[in-house]
């Protein structure tokens, strides 16, 4: 009988301990990230931003709602890291993004943020011509220059009279 009472007391103490630890961990799930620094088009980054959350019951899983991250970037589901090299957005500026976090109990919260995607300060690669493009202008120019130099060295165009023979 005593063993049964001791066993019941241990079970009650274990239940109290478990419920206390669960209530301590079950503060509301919140996304702590309030803003996102701007990113530059075409500049690769291993970590544009790491989204932060608190409360709920870890581990967390991250996602975007309504629209994907900017083209050229990706969101790591397990870590909340947004990385990559953003491409020039075709639409909205700043780029609205709705980030969501889900904890291990399935509780999900979302937050609307904006991401400023700035153009690169460098050359616009869409307007840079490849090296062979310039050959079609350089080759005829070099050939024409060689012909003009050859004519000048001979004293005039072939078949033309020189000023000395005209007199």
DSSP 116: -
Please give the model's pTM, rounded to 2 decimal places: 0.57
30 to 41, 56, 60, 118: CA distances (angstroms): 30, 8, 11, 29
**In angstroms, rounded to a whole number, what is the distance separating the alpha carbons of residues 53 and 106?**
14
For the chain, which domains are there?
Answer: 26-118 (2.60.40.10)
**In angstroms, rounded to a whole number, what is the distance separating the alpha carbons of residues 146 and 111?**
68
Tell me if 76 sits within 8 A of 33, measured CB to CB: no
pLDDT in tens, the chain (167 residues): 677 777 676 766 766 565 555 544 569 999 999 888 878 888 888 888 899 999 999 999 999 998 888 889 999 999 999 999 888 766 657 888 899 999 999 999 999 998 888 877 665 555 667 777 777 778 888 888 888 888 888 876 666 665 565 55
């Amino acid at each position: 009988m005593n063993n049964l009472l001791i066993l019941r007391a241990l079970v009650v103490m274990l239940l109290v301990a478990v419920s206390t630890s669960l209530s301590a961990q079950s503060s509301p799930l919140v996304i702590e990230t309030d803003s996102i620094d701007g990113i530059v088009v075409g500049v690769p980054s291993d970590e544009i931003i790491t989204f932060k959350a608190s409360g709920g019951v870890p581990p967390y899983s991250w996602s975007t709602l309504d629209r994907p991250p900017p083209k050229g970037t990706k969101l790591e589901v397990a870590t909340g890291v947004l990385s990559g090299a953003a491409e020039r957005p075709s639409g909205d500026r700043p780029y609205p993004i709705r980030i969501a976090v889900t904890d291990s109990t399935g509780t999900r919260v979302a937050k609307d943020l904006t991401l400023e995607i700035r153009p690169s300060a460098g050359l616009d690669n869409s307007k840079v011509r490849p090296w062979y493009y310039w050959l079609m202008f350089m080759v005829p120019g070099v050939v024409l220059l060689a012909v003009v130099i050859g004519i000048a060295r001979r004293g005039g165009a072939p078949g033309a009279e020189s000023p000395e023979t005209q007199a």
